[in-house]
Chains A and B, each alone.
Chain A
Protein backbone atom coordinates (compact mmCIF):
# COMPACT_ATOMS: atom_id res chain seq x y z
CA UNK A 1 0.00 0.00 0.00
CA UNK A 2 1.29 3.41 -0.98
CA UNK A 3 0.86 6.28 1.45
CA UNK A 4 -0.37 9.33 -0.42
CA UNK A 5 -0.09 12.95 0.62
CA UNK A 6 -3.34 14.84 1.36
CA UNK A 7 -2.99 16.69 -1.95
CA UNK A 8 -2.60 13.42 -3.84
CA UNK A 9 -5.64 11.97 -2.07
CA UNK A 10 -7.78 14.95 -3.06
CA UNK A 11 -6.48 14.61 -6.62
CA UNK A 12 -7.36 10.91 -6.69
CA UNK A 13 -10.89 11.77 -5.56
CA UNK A 14 -11.13 14.28 -8.40
CA UNK A 15 -10.06 11.64 -10.89
CA UNK A 16 -12.51 9.05 -9.59
CA UNK A 17 -15.53 11.25 -8.93
CA UNK A 18 -15.14 14.02 -11.50
CA UNK A 19 -17.84 16.66 -11.17
CA UNK A 20 -19.45 14.85 -8.27
CA UNK A 21 -16.70 16.15 -6.02
CA UNK A 22 -18.19 19.45 -4.95
CA UNK A 23 -15.49 20.80 -2.68
CA UNK A 24 -12.39 19.75 -0.81
CA UNK A 25 -10.29 21.28 1.94
CA UNK A 26 -7.03 20.27 3.57
CA UNK A 27 -6.34 21.27 7.16
CA UNK A 28 -2.84 21.18 8.61
CA UNK A 29 -1.53 22.21 11.99
CA UNK A 30 1.87 21.94 13.63
CA UNK A 31 1.91 19.98 16.87
CA UNK A 32 4.09 20.29 19.98
CA UNK A 33 7.85 20.79 19.88
CA UNK A 34 8.89 18.81 16.82
CA UNK A 35 6.20 20.48 14.72
CA UNK A 36 4.87 17.31 13.15
CA UNK A 37 1.78 17.97 11.08
CA UNK A 38 -1.72 17.05 12.15
CA UNK A 39 -3.64 16.66 8.91
CA UNK A 40 -7.30 16.41 8.06
CA UNK A 41 -9.11 16.33 4.73
CA UNK A 42 -12.69 17.43 4.23
CA UNK A 43 -14.37 16.19 1.09
CA UNK A 44 -17.82 17.22 -0.05
CA UNK A 45 -19.48 14.90 -2.57
CA UNK A 46 -22.85 14.62 -4.24
CA UNK A 47 -25.08 11.83 -3.01
CA UNK A 48 -24.94 9.93 -6.32
CA UNK A 49 -21.20 9.58 -5.89
CA UNK A 50 -21.29 8.72 -2.18
CA UNK A 51 -20.93 4.93 -2.53
CA UNK A 52 -18.19 5.34 -5.11
CA UNK A 53 -16.36 7.68 -2.74
CA UNK A 54 -16.52 5.11 0.10
CA UNK A 55 -15.28 2.42 -2.28
CA UNK A 56 -12.44 4.70 -3.25
CA UNK A 57 -11.49 5.18 0.41
CA UNK A 58 -11.33 1.38 0.66
CA UNK A 59 -8.97 1.41 -2.31
CA UNK A 60 -6.67 3.82 -0.48
CA UNK A 61 -6.50 1.51 2.54
CA UNK A 62 -8.10 -1.92 2.57
CA UNK A 63 -9.86 -1.51 5.92
CA UNK A 64 -10.35 2.20 6.52
CA UNK A 65 -11.59 3.09 9.98
CA UNK A 66 -15.02 4.68 10.06
CA UNK A 67 -15.21 6.52 13.37
CA UNK A 68 -18.74 7.91 13.30
CA UNK A 69 -21.35 9.63 11.19
CA UNK A 70 -22.15 13.10 12.44
CA UNK A 71 -25.19 14.93 11.19
CA UNK A 72 -26.46 18.48 11.33
CA UNK A 73 -29.85 20.01 10.68
CA UNK A 74 -29.18 23.06 8.50
CA UNK A 75 -32.74 24.26 8.01
CA UNK A 76 -33.81 23.02 4.59
CA UNK A 77 -31.02 20.48 4.37
CA UNK A 78 -29.44 17.80 6.50
CA UNK A 79 -25.72 17.38 6.33
CA UNK A 80 -24.01 14.08 7.07
CA UNK A 81 -20.29 13.72 7.64
CA UNK A 82 -18.71 10.27 7.60
CA UNK A 83 -15.55 10.57 9.66
CA UNK A 84 -12.91 8.17 8.38
CA UNK A 85 -9.28 7.71 9.30
CA UNK A 86 -6.72 6.54 6.82
CA UNK A 87 -3.25 5.10 7.29
CA UNK A 88 -3.55 4.03 10.91
CA UNK A 89 -0.74 1.69 11.88
CA UNK A 90 1.88 3.97 10.29
CA UNK A 91 3.80 6.26 12.58
CA UNK A 92 2.37 9.80 12.43
CA UNK A 93 0.89 9.17 8.99
CA UNK A 94 -2.76 9.00 9.96
CA UNK A 95 -5.20 11.39 8.29
CA UNK A 96 -8.70 12.30 9.30
CA UNK A 97 -11.02 12.25 6.33
CA UNK A 98 -14.47 13.78 6.61
CA UNK A 99 -16.78 12.75 3.79
CA UNK A 100 -19.59 15.26 3.63
CA UNK A 101 -22.97 14.76 1.95
CA UNK A 102 -25.83 17.23 1.96
CA UNK A 103 -29.40 15.96 1.65
CA UNK A 104 -32.56 17.92 0.90
CA UNK A 105 -35.13 17.70 3.72
CA UNK A 106 -37.78 16.29 1.38
CA UNK A 107 -35.53 13.45 0.25
CA UNK A 108 -33.62 12.20 3.28
CA UNK A 109 -32.15 8.99 1.96
CA UNK A 110 -28.65 7.62 1.93
CA UNK A 111 -27.51 4.16 0.80
CA UNK A 112 -26.06 1.84 3.44
CA UNK A 113 -22.35 1.07 3.45
CA UNK A 114 -22.56 -1.93 5.79
CA UNK A 115 -21.80 -4.23 2.83
CA UNK A 116 -18.46 -2.44 2.42
CA UNK A 117 -17.76 -1.71 6.10
CA UNK A 118 -19.81 -4.04 8.37
CA UNK A 119 -18.91 -2.01 11.46
CA UNK A 120 -20.88 0.97 10.14
CA UNK A 121 -24.12 -0.61 11.36
CA UNK A 122 -24.39 1.06 14.80
CA UNK A 123 -23.75 4.55 13.55
CA UNK A 124 -26.14 4.11 10.61
CA UNK A 125 -28.85 2.94 12.99
CA UNK A 126 -28.16 5.94 15.21
CA UNK A 127 -28.29 8.40 12.30
CA UNK A 128 -31.57 6.88 11.18
CA UNK A 129 -33.36 7.20 14.51
CA UNK A 130 -31.82 10.49 15.68
CA UNK A 131 -31.86 12.49 12.44
CA UNK A 132 -34.60 10.76 10.49
CA UNK A 133 -32.37 9.98 7.53
CA UNK A 134 -33.47 6.75 5.92
CA UNK A 135 -30.54 4.42 5.38
CA UNK A 136 -31.57 2.43 2.31
CA UNK A 137 -30.72 -1.25 2.52
CA UNK A 138 -29.66 -1.29 6.18
CA UNK A 139 -29.58 -4.94 7.36
CA UNK A 140 -30.88 -4.16 10.87
CA UNK A 141 -33.64 -1.58 10.88
CA UNK A 142 -34.25 -1.42 14.64
CA UNK A 143 -33.59 1.57 16.84
CA UNK A 144 -30.29 1.74 18.64
CA UNK A 145 -30.40 4.19 21.55
CA UNK A 146 -34.00 5.35 21.60
CA UNK A 147 -36.42 3.27 23.67
CA UNK A 148 -39.15 1.27 21.98
CA UNK A 149 -41.90 3.53 23.33
CA UNK A 150 -40.33 6.72 21.98
CA UNK A 151 -42.88 8.36 19.62
CA UNK A 152 -42.52 7.76 15.90
CA UNK A 153 -41.63 10.73 13.73
CA UNK A 154 -39.70 12.61 16.43
CA UNK A 155 -36.00 12.96 15.77
CA UNK A 156 -33.93 14.30 18.69
CA UNK A 157 -31.22 15.91 16.57
CA UNK A 158 -33.58 17.94 14.39
CA UNK A 159 -34.23 21.59 15.02
CA UNK A 160 -37.43 21.80 12.96
CA UNK A 161 -40.96 20.70 13.88
CA UNK A 162 -39.93 17.04 14.01
CA UNK A 163 -37.45 17.81 16.80
CA UNK A 164 -37.97 16.94 20.48
CA UNK A 165 -39.04 20.48 21.53
CA UNK A 166 -42.47 19.49 22.79
CA UNK A 167 -40.98 16.74 24.92
CA UNK A 168 -38.66 19.02 26.87
CA UNK A 169 -39.49 19.52 30.50
CA UNK A 170 -39.93 23.15 31.52
CA UNK A 171 -38.92 23.78 35.10
CA UNK A 172 -41.50 25.57 37.32
CA UNK A 173 -41.19 29.32 36.99
CA UNK A 174 -39.28 29.13 33.72
CA UNK A 175 -40.34 30.08 30.24
CA UNK A 176 -40.31 27.57 27.46
CA UNK A 177 -37.10 28.25 25.64
CA UNK A 178 -37.33 26.31 22.41
CA UNK A 179 -39.88 25.23 19.88
CA UNK A 180 -43.45 26.12 19.20
CA UNK A 181 -46.00 27.37 21.75
Chain B
Protein backbone atom coordinates (compact mmCIF):
# COMPACT_ATOMS: atom_id res chain seq x y z
CA UNK B 1 0.00 0.00 0.00
CA UNK B 2 0.99 3.54 -0.63
CA UNK B 3 1.09 4.40 3.02
CA UNK B 4 3.52 1.60 3.76
CA UNK B 5 5.95 2.76 1.10
CA UNK B 6 6.37 6.14 2.68
CA UNK B 7 5.96 5.25 6.32
CA UNK B 8 7.02 2.18 8.19
CA UNK B 9 4.29 0.96 10.48
CA UNK B 10 5.09 -1.40 13.26
CA UNK B 11 2.94 -3.73 15.26
CA UNK B 12 4.31 -4.16 18.74
CA UNK B 13 2.81 -6.94 20.80
CA UNK B 14 3.47 -6.04 24.42
CA UNK B 15 3.24 -8.98 26.80
CA UNK B 16 1.74 -11.51 27.38
CA UNK B 17 3.96 -12.41 30.33
CA UNK B 18 2.54 -10.40 33.17
CA UNK B 19 3.21 -12.12 36.46
CA UNK B 20 1.16 -9.96 38.81
CA UNK B 21 -2.02 -10.00 36.75
CA UNK B 22 -4.86 -12.45 37.13
CA UNK B 23 -4.92 -12.55 33.37
CA UNK B 24 -1.56 -11.83 31.82
CA UNK B 25 -2.18 -9.59 28.93
CA UNK B 26 -0.93 -8.79 25.48
CA UNK B 27 -1.29 -5.34 23.99
CA UNK B 28 -0.91 -5.23 20.24
CA UNK B 29 0.17 -1.68 19.53
CA UNK B 30 0.12 -0.32 15.98
CA UNK B 31 2.83 2.29 15.82
CA UNK B 32 3.35 5.12 13.40
CA UNK B 33 6.76 6.47 14.28
CA UNK B 34 6.56 7.13 18.00
CA UNK B 35 2.79 7.49 18.02
CA UNK B 36 0.35 4.75 18.95
CA UNK B 37 -2.43 4.65 16.36
CA UNK B 38 -4.30 1.55 17.43
CA UNK B 39 -4.38 -0.87 20.33
CA UNK B 40 -5.78 -4.36 20.59
CA UNK B 41 -6.07 -6.01 23.99
CA UNK B 42 -5.59 -9.79 24.05
CA UNK B 43 -6.39 -11.52 27.33
CA UNK B 44 -6.85 -15.02 28.67
CA UNK B 45 -3.30 -16.38 28.70
CA UNK B 46 -3.74 -17.73 32.20
CA UNK B 47 -7.44 -18.32 32.62
CA UNK B 48 -7.57 -20.66 35.59
CA UNK B 49 -11.25 -21.59 35.61
CA UNK B 50 -11.73 -20.59 39.24
CA UNK B 51 -15.49 -20.27 38.79
CA UNK B 52 -15.61 -23.79 37.38
CA UNK B 53 -13.77 -25.13 40.44
CA UNK B 54 -16.25 -23.34 42.67
CA UNK B 55 -19.16 -24.97 40.88
CA UNK B 56 -17.71 -28.47 40.57
CA UNK B 57 -15.11 -29.17 43.23
CA UNK B 58 -15.34 -26.90 46.27
CA UNK B 59 -18.14 -26.35 48.71
CA UNK B 60 -19.24 -22.77 49.48
CA UNK B 61 -16.95 -22.44 52.52
CA UNK B 62 -13.90 -23.74 50.67
CA UNK B 63 -14.73 -21.21 47.97
CA UNK B 64 -13.95 -18.34 50.35
CA UNK B 65 -10.30 -19.36 50.23
CA UNK B 66 -10.46 -19.86 46.49
CA UNK B 67 -11.92 -16.36 46.11
CA UNK B 68 -9.09 -15.05 48.25
CA UNK B 69 -6.67 -16.45 45.71
CA UNK B 70 -8.26 -14.84 42.68
CA UNK B 71 -5.81 -12.01 43.17
CA UNK B 72 -2.81 -11.66 45.45
CA UNK B 73 -3.42 -8.00 46.19
CA UNK B 74 -7.22 -7.95 46.28
CA UNK B 75 -7.48 -10.86 48.69
CA UNK B 76 -9.96 -9.05 50.92
CA UNK B 77 -12.42 -7.61 48.43
CA UNK B 78 -12.98 -10.88 46.54
CA UNK B 79 -14.00 -12.91 49.61
CA UNK B 80 -15.89 -9.80 50.82
CA UNK B 81 -18.06 -9.73 47.68
CA UNK B 82 -18.32 -13.50 47.65
CA UNK B 83 -19.57 -13.90 51.23
CA UNK B 84 -22.07 -11.07 50.70
CA UNK B 85 -23.48 -12.89 47.69
CA UNK B 86 -23.75 -16.20 49.58
CA UNK B 87 -25.28 -14.48 52.60
CA UNK B 88 -27.95 -12.98 50.36
CA UNK B 89 -28.62 -16.30 48.67
CA UNK B 90 -28.92 -18.16 51.98
CA UNK B 91 -30.71 -15.38 53.89
CA UNK B 92 -27.97 -14.82 56.48
CA UNK B 93 -27.38 -11.41 58.07
CA UNK B 94 -23.87 -10.97 59.47
CA UNK B 95 -23.52 -9.37 62.93
CA UNK B 96 -22.83 -5.63 63.14
CA UNK B 97 -19.38 -5.99 64.65
CA UNK B 98 -18.32 -8.27 61.80
CA UNK B 99 -19.45 -5.63 59.27
CA UNK B 100 -17.12 -3.08 60.87
CA UNK B 101 -14.17 -5.47 61.06
CA UNK B 102 -14.66 -6.24 57.38
CA UNK B 103 -14.45 -2.54 56.58
CA UNK B 104 -11.27 -2.06 58.65
CA UNK B 105 -9.35 -4.81 56.88
CA UNK B 106 -10.71 -3.78 53.48
CA UNK B 107 -9.40 -0.25 54.03
CA UNK B 108 -6.03 -1.58 55.21
CA UNK B 109 -5.87 -3.42 51.92
CA UNK B 110 -6.64 -0.19 50.06
CA UNK B 111 -3.78 1.64 51.77
CA UNK B 112 -1.24 -1.06 50.99
CA UNK B 113 -2.47 -1.50 47.43
CA UNK B 114 -2.39 2.22 46.60
CA UNK B 115 1.10 2.59 48.09
CA UNK B 116 2.26 -0.42 46.12
CA UNK B 117 0.88 1.18 42.99
CA UNK B 118 2.49 4.52 43.75
CA UNK B 119 5.88 2.83 44.05
CA UNK B 120 5.53 0.96 40.78
CA UNK B 121 4.27 4.06 39.00
CA UNK B 122 7.39 5.92 40.15
CA UNK B 123 9.54 3.04 38.93
CA UNK B 124 7.84 3.10 35.53
CA UNK B 125 8.97 6.63 34.90
CA UNK B 126 12.46 5.89 36.20
CA UNK B 127 12.08 7.70 39.51
CA UNK B 128 13.44 4.88 41.59
CA UNK B 129 14.26 6.87 44.70
CA UNK B 130 10.53 7.53 45.11
CA UNK B 131 9.84 3.87 44.45
CA UNK B 132 12.17 2.89 47.33
CA UNK B 133 10.67 5.55 49.59
CA UNK B 134 7.08 4.48 49.00
CA UNK B 135 7.73 0.79 49.41
CA UNK B 136 9.62 1.41 52.63
CA UNK B 137 6.66 3.45 53.88
CA UNK B 138 4.31 0.64 52.81
CA UNK B 139 5.98 -1.83 55.17
CA UNK B 140 4.23 -0.12 58.08
CA UNK B 141 0.78 -1.08 56.82
CA UNK B 142 1.98 -4.59 55.96
CA UNK B 143 3.20 -4.98 59.54
CA UNK B 144 -0.15 -3.74 60.78
CA UNK B 145 -2.03 -6.18 58.55
CA UNK B 146 0.12 -9.00 59.90
CA UNK B 147 -0.50 -7.80 63.45
CA UNK B 148 -4.28 -7.72 62.98
CA UNK B 149 -4.87 -10.76 60.77
CA UNK B 150 -1.79 -12.91 61.36
CA UNK B 151 -0.64 -12.84 57.76
CA UNK B 152 0.69 -10.36 55.22
CA UNK B 153 -1.02 -11.64 52.11
CA UNK B 154 -3.89 -14.13 52.31
CA UNK B 155 -5.61 -13.12 55.51
CA UNK B 156 -8.46 -15.66 55.78
CA UNK B 157 -10.57 -13.21 57.79
CA UNK B 158 -13.88 -13.90 56.10
CA UNK B 159 -16.49 -16.45 56.91
CA UNK B 160 -20.03 -16.69 55.60
CA UNK B 161 -22.06 -14.87 58.22
CA UNK B 162 -19.24 -12.90 59.81
CA UNK B 163 -15.49 -12.80 60.29
CA UNK B 164 -13.14 -15.36 61.81
CA UNK B 165 -11.06 -13.08 64.02
CA UNK B 166 -11.86 -10.19 66.28
CA UNK B 167 -10.12 -6.84 66.51
CA UNK B 168 -10.00 -6.18 70.24
CA UNK B 169 -9.69 -2.98 72.28
CA UNK B 170 -6.06 -3.86 73.15
CA UNK B 171 -5.19 -3.81 69.46
CA UNK B 172 -6.67 -0.36 68.84
CA UNK B 173 -3.57 1.42 70.20
CA UNK B 174 -1.24 -0.34 67.80
CA UNK B 175 -3.60 0.34 64.87
CA UNK B 176 -3.85 4.03 65.74
CA UNK B 177 -0.08 4.23 65.99
CA UNK B 178 0.27 3.11 62.35
CA UNK B 179 -2.48 5.44 61.20
CA UNK B 180 -0.79 8.35 62.99
CA UNK B 181 2.44 7.47 61.21
CA UNK B 182 0.71 7.73 57.84
CA UNK B 183 -0.94 10.99 58.79
CA UNK B 184 2.45 12.40 59.79
CA UNK B 185 4.04 11.57 56.42
CA UNK B 186 1.01 12.25 54.24
CA UNK B 187 2.04 15.80 53.35
CA UNK B 188 5.46 14.57 52.38
CA UNK B 189 3.98 11.94 50.06
CA UNK B 190 1.67 14.54 48.62
CA UNK B 191 4.56 16.89 47.87
CA UNK B 192 6.56 14.09 46.28
CA UNK B 193 3.76 12.95 44.00
CA UNK B 194 1.83 16.09 43.21
CA UNK B 195 4.39 18.89 43.29
CA UNK B 196 7.42 17.15 41.87
CA UNK B 197 8.16 18.47 38.41
CA UNK B 198 9.44 15.14 37.01
CA UNK B 199 6.28 13.31 37.97
CA UNK B 200 4.14 16.15 36.72
CA UNK B 201 5.91 16.23 33.35
CA UNK B 202 5.52 12.51 32.81
CA UNK B 203 1.91 12.22 33.98
CA UNK B 204 0.08 15.45 33.16
CA UNK B 205 -1.91 15.09 29.91
CA UNK B 206 -0.65 11.53 29.44
CA UNK B 207 -3.07 8.66 28.98
CA UNK B 208 -6.24 10.72 29.02
CA UNK B 209 -9.59 8.96 29.44
CA UNK B 210 -12.46 11.35 28.78
CA UNK B 211 -15.51 11.30 31.06
CA UNK B 212 -17.80 10.14 28.28
CA UNK B 213 -15.46 7.30 27.30
CA UNK B 214 -15.18 6.25 30.93
CA UNK B 215 -18.98 6.07 31.17
CA UNK B 216 -19.43 4.23 27.88
CA UNK B 217 -16.61 1.77 28.51
CA UNK B 218 -17.83 1.15 32.06
CA UNK B 219 -14.57 2.15 33.77
CA UNK B 220 -14.63 1.57 37.51
CA UNK B 221 -12.57 2.51 40.54
CA UNK B 222 -9.85 5.16 40.48
CA UNK B 223 -9.69 4.85 36.68
CA UNK B 224 -13.32 5.98 36.38
CA UNK B 225 -13.21 8.47 39.24
CA UNK B 226 -10.11 10.19 37.84
CA UNK B 227 -12.18 10.80 34.71
CA UNK B 228 -14.87 12.46 36.80
CA UNK B 229 -17.30 9.55 37.23
CA UNK B 230 -18.37 9.68 40.90
CA UNK B 231 -18.84 5.93 41.11
CA UNK B 232 -17.72 4.22 44.29
CA UNK B 233 -19.54 1.19 45.68
CA UNK B 234 -18.73 2.34 49.24
CA UNK B 235 -20.66 5.53 48.56
CA UNK B 236 -23.40 4.19 46.31
CA UNK B 237 -24.57 0.94 47.78
CA UNK B 238 -25.10 0.13 51.45
CA UNK B 239 -22.80 -2.75 52.32
CA UNK B 240 -20.74 -3.64 55.35
CA UNK B 241 -19.98 -0.89 57.82
CA UNK B 242 -19.63 1.57 54.93
CA UNK B 243 -23.40 2.03 54.96
CA UNK B 244 -23.07 3.97 58.24
CA UNK B 245 -20.13 6.13 57.31
CA UNK B 246 -21.32 8.69 54.71
CA UNK B 247 -18.50 8.08 52.28
CA UNK B 248 -18.01 10.34 49.31
CA UNK B 249 -16.45 9.21 46.04
CA UNK B 250 -13.17 11.00 45.41
CA UNK B 251 -12.72 12.79 42.11
CA UNK B 252 -9.63 14.84 41.21
CA UNK B 253 -11.50 18.16 41.10
CA UNK B 254 -11.74 17.98 44.90
CA UNK B 255 -8.06 18.86 45.01
CA UNK B 256 -7.15 20.46 41.69
CA UNK B 257 -10.49 21.99 40.72
CA UNK B 258 -10.57 20.33 37.30
CA UNK B 259 -10.97 16.88 35.82
CA UNK B 260 -8.45 16.05 33.10
CA UNK B 261 -8.69 12.27 33.32
CA UNK B 262 -4.95 11.73 32.84
CA UNK B 263 -2.38 9.72 34.81
CA UNK B 264 -1.78 12.64 37.15
CA UNK B 265 -5.47 12.67 38.10
CA UNK B 266 -5.31 8.95 38.84
CA UNK B 267 -2.43 9.68 41.23
CA UNK B 268 -4.51 12.42 42.89
CA UNK B 269 -7.47 10.08 43.38
CA UNK B 270 -5.38 7.27 44.86
CA UNK B 271 -3.47 9.61 47.13
CA UNK B 272 -6.67 11.11 48.52
CA UNK B 273 -8.11 7.63 48.93
CA UNK B 274 -5.23 6.67 51.19
CA UNK B 275 -6.18 9.58 53.42
CA UNK B 276 -9.85 8.62 53.20
CA UNK B 277 -9.02 5.02 54.16
CA UNK B 278 -7.18 6.24 57.28
CA UNK B 279 -10.22 8.28 58.28
CA UNK B 280 -12.58 5.36 57.66
CA UNK B 281 -10.52 3.01 59.85
CA UNK B 282 -10.42 5.61 62.63
CA UNK B 283 -14.18 6.05 62.50
CA UNK B 284 -14.72 2.30 62.56
CA UNK B 285 -12.52 2.02 65.65
CA UNK B 286 -14.45 4.83 67.35
CA UNK B 287 -17.88 3.50 66.51
CA UNK B 288 -17.26 -0.25 66.59
CA UNK B 289 -20.39 -2.00 67.89
CA UNK B 290 -20.05 -4.87 70.33
CA UNK B 291 -21.52 -8.30 69.80
CA UNK B 292 -20.75 -11.65 68.21
CA UNK B 293 -18.50 -12.16 65.19
CA UNK B 294 -20.30 -15.04 63.53
CA UNK B 295 -23.85 -16.14 62.92
CA UNK B 296 -22.81 -19.78 63.12
CA UNK B 297 -19.58 -20.86 64.83
CA UNK B 298 -19.44 -24.42 63.55
CA UNK B 299 -18.40 -24.77 59.94
CA UNK B 300 -20.11 -28.15 59.52
CA UNK B 301 -23.44 -26.74 60.71
CA UNK B 302 -23.04 -23.73 58.43
CA UNK B 303 -22.27 -25.98 55.50
CA UNK B 304 -25.36 -28.02 56.21
CA UNK B 305 -27.40 -24.82 56.25
CA UNK B 306 -25.90 -23.71 52.93
CA UNK B 307 -26.57 -27.08 51.31
CA UNK B 308 -30.26 -26.75 52.18
CA UNK B 309 -30.50 -23.13 51.08
CA UNK B 310 -31.98 -22.10 47.78
CA UNK B 311 -31.56 -18.67 46.26
CA UNK B 312 -29.30 -16.23 44.50
CA UNK B 313 -27.34 -13.19 45.52
CA UNK B 314 -25.11 -10.50 44.18
CA UNK B 315 -22.19 -9.13 46.14
CA UNK B 316 -20.39 -5.93 45.24
CA UNK B 317 -17.39 -4.49 46.98
CA UNK B 318 -15.09 -1.61 46.18
CA UNK B 319 -11.62 -3.03 45.66
CA UNK B 320 -8.59 -0.74 45.43
CA UNK B 321 -8.95 -1.00 41.64
CA UNK B 322 -12.73 -0.66 41.46
CA UNK B 323 -15.89 -2.60 41.79
CA UNK B 324 -15.69 -6.36 42.35
CA UNK B 325 -18.88 -8.28 41.58
CA UNK B 326 -19.70 -11.84 42.61
CA UNK B 327 -22.91 -13.53 41.58
CA UNK B 328 -23.81 -16.75 43.39
CA UNK B 329 -26.69 -19.18 43.10
CA UNK B 330 -27.41 -21.94 45.59
CA UNK B 331 -29.53 -24.96 44.83
CA UNK B 332 -31.14 -26.94 47.65
CA UNK B 333 -29.49 -30.33 48.08
CA UNK B 334 -26.38 -29.42 46.11
CA UNK B 335 -23.09 -29.20 47.97
CA UNK B 336 -21.33 -26.93 45.51
CA UNK B 337 -22.55 -23.63 44.13
CA UNK B 338 -24.86 -24.02 41.18
CA UNK B 339 -23.57 -20.80 39.64
CA UNK B 340 -20.69 -18.47 40.38
CA UNK B 341 -19.59 -15.51 38.31
CA UNK B 342 -16.76 -13.19 39.25
CA UNK B 343 -16.15 -9.77 37.73
CA UNK B 344 -12.87 -8.20 38.72
CA UNK B 345 -12.35 -4.46 38.15
CA UNK B 346 -9.53 -4.87 35.63
CA UNK B 347 -11.95 -6.80 33.39
CA UNK B 348 -13.82 -3.60 32.56
CA UNK B 349 -10.92 -1.19 32.96
CA UNK B 350 -9.04 -3.02 30.21
CA UNK B 351 -11.66 -1.87 27.73
CA UNK B 352 -10.53 1.67 28.45
CA UNK B 353 -6.91 0.83 27.56
CA UNK B 354 -7.22 1.51 23.80
CA UNK B 355 -8.79 4.89 24.58
CA UNK B 356 -6.02 5.66 27.08
CA UNK B 357 -3.08 4.64 24.88
CA UNK B 358 -4.21 5.93 21.46
CA UNK B 359 -2.34 9.01 20.37
CA UNK B 360 0.32 8.50 23.02
CA UNK B 361 3.98 7.56 22.65
CA UNK B 362 5.66 4.17 23.11
CA UNK B 363 7.67 5.57 26.00
CA UNK B 364 4.42 6.43 27.78
CA UNK B 365 3.02 2.88 27.54
CA UNK B 366 4.49 1.65 30.85
CA UNK B 367 3.12 4.50 32.95
CA UNK B 368 -0.17 4.87 31.04
CA UNK B 369 -0.90 1.16 31.23
CA UNK B 370 0.17 0.97 34.86
CA UNK B 371 -2.08 3.91 35.67
CA UNK B 372 -5.22 1.78 35.59
CA UNK B 373 -3.39 -0.36 38.16
CA UNK B 374 -3.76 -3.69 36.38
CA UNK B 375 -2.42 -5.44 39.46
CA UNK B 376 0.84 -3.55 39.22
CA UNK B 377 3.07 -5.34 36.84
CA UNK B 378 4.14 -3.74 33.65
CA UNK B 379 5.20 -4.58 30.20
CA UNK B 380 7.45 -7.56 30.25
CA UNK B 381 8.68 -7.89 26.74
CA UNK B 382 7.71 -6.70 23.34
CA UNK B 383 8.42 -7.99 19.84
CA UNK B 384 8.87 -5.34 17.21
CA UNK B 385 7.67 -6.56 13.82
CA UNK B 386 8.56 -4.66 10.72
CA UNK B 387 5.39 -4.98 8.67
CA UNK B 388 7.30 -4.97 5.36
CA UNK B 389 10.07 -7.43 6.06
CA UNK B 390 8.41 -9.33 8.95
CA UNK B 391 11.70 -9.07 10.77
CA UNK B 392 11.27 -9.57 14.44
CA UNK B 393 13.39 -7.97 17.08
CA UNK B 394 12.90 -8.47 20.74
CA UNK B 395 12.36 -5.48 22.93
CA UNK B 396 12.85 -6.64 26.48
CA UNK B 397 11.15 -5.16 29.48
CA UNK B 398 14.43 -3.53 30.37
CA UNK B 399 14.73 -1.83 26.98
CA UNK B 400 11.16 -0.59 27.15
CA UNK B 401 11.80 0.60 30.66
CA UNK B 402 14.95 2.38 29.48
CA UNK B 403 12.93 4.13 26.78
CA UNK B 404 10.69 5.43 29.53
CA UNK B 405 13.62 6.50 31.71
CA UNK B 406 15.25 8.26 28.75
CA UNK B 407 12.10 10.25 28.18
CA UNK B 408 12.15 11.45 31.77
CA UNK B 409 15.78 12.53 31.42
CA UNK B 410 15.11 14.23 28.11
CA UNK B 411 12.20 16.20 29.54
CA UNK B 412 14.27 17.21 32.55
CA UNK B 413 17.09 18.40 30.32
CA UNK B 414 14.63 20.46 28.28
CA UNK B 415 13.24 21.93 31.44
CA UNK B 416 16.66 22.86 32.76
CA UNK B 417 17.87 24.52 29.58
A contact residues vs B (CB 8 Å cutoff): 27, 29-34, 36-38, 40, 42, 63, 65-68, 70-72, 81, 83, 85, 87-94, 96, 98, 117-123, 143-147, 156-157, 164, 178
Given the known interface contacts A67-B343, A68-B343, A146-B44, the answer about A89 and B236 at a Cβ–Cβ threshold of 8 Å is yes
Shortest distance from the beta carbon of A99 to any chain B beta carbon, whole Å = 12
Chain A contact residues: helix, strand, loop or mixed: mixed
CA distance in complex: A119, B241 (Å): 31
Residues on the B chain within 8 Å of A144, using CB: 43-44
Residues on the B chain within 8 Å of A81, using CB: 327
Q: Specify the chain A residue showing the minimal Cβ separation from B49.
A: A156
Is B266 in contact with chain A by the CB < 8 A criterion?
Answer: no
Q: Specify the chain A residue showing the minimal Cβ separation from B56.
A: A178
Partner of A38, one of B217, B238, B248: B238
Identify the stretch in B147-155, B189-197, B346-354, B365-373 within 8 Å (CB) of chain A at 4 or more residues. Answer: B346-354
Give me 7 other A-B pairs in contact (C-beta within 8 A), A70-B339, A98-B327 excluded.
A29-B88, A31-B240, A42-B312, A65-B231, A72-B339, A156-B52, A157-B52
B239 with A119: CB separation less than 8 A: no
5 pairs from A and B in contact (CB 8 Å cutoff): A36-B238, A36-B244, A72-B338, A119-B219, A119-B351
A96 with B314: CB separation less than 8 A: yes
Shortest distance from the beta carbon of A172 to any chain B beta carbon, whole Å = 18
CA distance in complex: A143, B237 (Å): 33
B52 with A91: CB separation less than 8 A: no
B240 with A67: CB separation less than 8 A: no
Chain B contact residues: helix, strand, loop or mixed: mixed
Identify the stretch in B93-101, B112-120, B133-141, B176-184 within 8 Å (CB) of chain A at 4 or more residues. Answer: B93-101
Residues on the B chain within 8 Å of A122, using CB: 347-348, 350-351
A89 with B237: CB separation less than 8 A: no
Is B72 in contact with chain A by the CB < 8 A criterion?
Answer: no
Is B216 in contact with chain A by the CB < 8 A criterion?
Answer: yes
Shortest distance from the beta carbon of A132 to any chain B beta carbon, whole Å = 15
Is B341 in contact with chain A by the CB < 8 A criterion?
Answer: yes
| Of A68, A81, A144, most B-chain CB atoms within 10 Å | A68
Given the known interface contacts A83-B325, A119-B217, the answer about A34 and B348 at a Cβ–Cβ threshold of 8 Å is no
Which residues 39-92 of B have a CB within 8 angstroms of A?
Answer: 43-45, 47, 49, 52, 56, 88
Q: Specify the chain A residue showing the minimal Cβ separation from B216.
A: A118
A92 with B237: CB separation less than 8 A: yes
Partner of B44, one of A72, A119, A145, A178: A145
Residues on the B chain within 8 Å of A147, using CB: 44-45
B217 with A118: CB separation less than 8 A: yes
Residues on the A chain within 8 Å of B239, using CB: 31, 38
Q: List the 4 closest A-B pairs by CB distance, nearest first.
A: A145-B44, A119-B218, A94-B236, A70-B341
Q: Specify the chain B residue showing the minimal Cβ separation from A81.
A: B327
Q: Specify the chain B residue showing the minimal Cβ separation from A86.
A: B236
Shortest distance from the beta carbon of A77 to any chain B beta carbon, whole Å = 13
B327 with A92: CB separation less than 8 A: no
Is B163 in contact with chain A by the CB < 8 A criterion?
Answer: no
CA distance in complex: A42, B219 (Å): 24
Is B270 in contact with chain A by the CB < 8 A criterion?
Answer: no
